[in-house]
Amino acid sequence: MYLLISTVGNEFRGLKVGGRSILSDEYSKYRNIEHWVTDTQSKQTIREISNHGCVSGIVTELIYYSDTVKFYNAFEDEIWNRLDAAATNIGSSDIISFIGTYLDTKHIGSLTQFKNALAWWAVEDVANDLGNREEI
């Protein structure tokens, strides 16, 4: 177990224990993204996410940047692990190239927008996994 305190300059960014944010109370009760998705979204919504993505606003908890950044920060390690697995699945070990190829990056102009895109991608990836396992 390890403790990680994130700062940028003098600005506090987060606190993690064992790779898991301990300051995101609204997410701390969830073991992982799949647990969050299945607990907060209906089966119909999960199907909509799988078919159309988060961009439509179907996931009302992840519409605003402030919400998607909190989600990203809470699940950052898992998001990057999922990205690594997805890149490896297509035969690439280059996560950044994978992101550029499979995420809509043309509108990313800030760290906030990048975190938003990765948060949405992670929820969509989980929804697709659930669909592939026929759990929705």
Task: Provide the domain count of the chain.
Answer: 1
pTM of the predicted model as reported, rounded to 2 decimal places: 0.80
pLDDT of 105 reads 81
Domain membership of residue 40 (yes or no) is yes
Q: Does the residue 3 lie in any domain?
A: no
Residue 5 is assigned to a structural domain of this protein: no
3-state secondary structure the chain: CCEEEEEECCEEEEEEECCEECCCHHHHCCCCHHHHHHHHCCHHHHHHHHHHCCCCCCCHHHCCHHHHHHHHHHHHHHHHHHHHHHHHHCCCCCHHHHHHHHCCCCCCCCHHHHHHHHHHHHHHHHHHHHHHCCCC
| Residue 57 within a domain | yes
Give per-residue pLDDT as tens, 27-76: 999 999 999 999 999 999 999 999 999 999 999 999 999 999 999 999 99
23 falls within a domain: no
Q: Domain residues for 117?
A: 29-132
